[in-house]
Amino acid sequence: MKKVILITGASAGMGKDGALRLIKEGHIVYGGARRINKMQDIIDAGGHSIELDVTNIDSIKNAVNTIIRDQGRIDVLWNNAGYSVTGAVEDVSYEDAKKQFEVNLFGLSEVTKAVLPFMREQKSGTIINTSSVGGKIFSPLGAWYHATKHALEGWSDSLRIELKPFNINVAIIEPGGISTEFGNVLYQPLIDRSKGGAYEEISKKVADSYKANYADPKRLAPTSVVSDVAVRIINSKRPKTRYVVGYMSKTTIFMRWLLTDRMFEKIIVKFF
């Protein structure tokens, strides 16, 4: 059945690929992002682009109201917008840490809250939250990013219970290594934050590791693996609570479950 779908963070990566795939599936897709000029291909494919800053309440309300005005309903919200602030806890400013939470958790929650009244009224809906393998593990210099994704996991679980009486599904996608621009935005800020400080040496090693990993196609899965999962969730009457996809994702989560904190820490440090 044709569904009305809003995808945040649709100007690139998993969000854009997912939007294009869901348009091909015959759905009415709205790609939301700040960089509206980056979504012309979504329009060309038969979808819609809409300016959406998840940290701006007015922007969220305008986007949701526009979709309701044009379509009369929203069947699926895919909360995909997110990014990573990487650096030692001492090196990351309060402003950067706060913005990390504003985008990855608080903004996501506000978009969800804006959509839910309409889903409750129509007695159906699906919320998809893009978390990460990083919501289950930890890594060097990733404290603030991991904090947001760990929080999103628990937030989503509680939300799922709240919405069950209204026939609204909540599913989490936990990507591992995916070929996107995600890694490209990590390197220089990490180096800049650490320059001249106590964590400069380890920051250089971690940055080099990120560069190597994101430059090696064998260590990354295509964005299509995430789109495939999104299609499965949307087509399912009762989707699973979690979907783990991407390079080393299932293996990494299994090791985290199997090993002690200290054992897992040794493997992670060696990897980086």
**Residues annotated as catalytic (active site), given as ranges:** 11, 131, 145, 149
156, 132, 177, 146: which is closest to 239 by C-alpha? 156
Q: Helix or strand or coil: residue 38?
A: helix
Token pair listed for 48: 């819609």
Q: Helix or strand or coil: residue 3?
A: coil
Alpha carbon distances (Å) from 11 to 14, 35, 43, 82: 9, 6, 12, 12
The Cα 6–Cα 50 span in angstroms is 9
